[in-house]
Amino acid sequence: MLTRLSSPGHEDLYRVEDRESGLRGYIALHSTRLGPAAGGLRMRVYEGDDAAIEDVLNLSRGMSYKNAAAGLPLGGGKAVIMGDPGHDKTPPLLRAMGRAIDSLGGRYWTAEDMGMSPDDMAEIARETRFVAGRDQGMHASGDPSPVTARGVMGAMQAGAMRVWGKADLAGRRVAVQGLGHVGWHLCLMLHEAGARLIVADMDAARVASTVKEFGAEPVATGAIHAAEADIFAPCAIGGVLNARSIPEIRAALICGAANNQLATPEAAELLEAHGILYLPDYVANGGGIINVAAEILQIADRDGWVADRLSAMQANMAHILTRAAAEGVSPAVIADRMVEEQLLAQAV
């Protein structure tokens, strides 16, 4: 079922196959220097195996950085299943993935990600204990989306303090790209904070619901990044900040929940050159893994522990922004440097 593949820069990469259930996917372990690799399982349609491998490698590396930046004793890993979650996902397929995860003996802990739900985690948990994000159990953490949104909101407030001298988001125009679980919760929090919402999503029903509930302004998915807004919040797929999109962005601040927002490392420099403050995504969106970590680490006072970690994460973002301003470089450069120093120190 598991076939080990070559993966320069990663500890391990496995192809996962199960003919009986139709399972085909990949598990990547980027680093276990800080602890067992932890990161979500996503299911989506890929153009092919190369695209799935590229995604799982990028995401697992991002999890190493995210977990380190959040101060968690966890490494970075990720898993992907190739297929349409609306049509191809079945209990046998999920259980087969559970058996594959279990065969790694705790080197990788999985949790909910794109195309997955707490119910799916419960199905996987029938085959392995190395799963978090469940709805039931002594330390169950459930859907991490609301906590991810809380973390993004805190980071956004830190960014607003840096750009406008105050964390208050009332009256700020925020363009939210992607209205999935995290995007919707972020819209709710922004609406309650008095922000004015501009939204886009491939699902017209989600857009209509957000417009009705929050008085949001809808725009086309291909135009959301260029909307006249104070803040751009990417909460969908990665790679949205690139040489084509960046010159069209009008927002002064970018802070969202999507992973791997920068299409290339050079995109951070381009944003800096355009005077746009980019908040490193793996720092801003760390709330979800903090919530999951409380389950993995079996924290008794989960709510208090999560709240403390979210506060520390917001303070860390503020520290990154201060250092970046002092050195005249992108916050992405500072965040990467801090994490790499941490991982290097652990390796010695």
- Using left for φ > 0, alpha for ψ between -120 and 50, and beta otherwise, residue 115 falls in left
8-state DSSP, 227: S
Q: How far is CA 97 from CA 89, 102, 291, in A?
A: 11, 9, 22
Q: H-type helices in the chain, by residue range? A: 49-69, 91-102, 118-124, 145-164, 181-192, 204-214, 265-273, 281-284, 287-296, 302-327, 331-347
Task: With H, G, I as helix, E, B as strand and everything else as coil, classify residue 63.
Answer: helix
CA gap 111, 293 in Å, rounded: 10
End-to-end CA separation in angstroms for the chain: 34
**Per annotation, catalytic residue among 78, 89, 166, 212:** 78
Residue 24 phi/psi, 5-degree rounding, is -145, 125
Q: Which residues contact 184 (CB under 8 A, 6 or more apart)?
A: 206, 210
Look up 78 and say whether it is catalytic: yes
Instruction: Indicate which residues carry an active-site annotation.
Output: 78
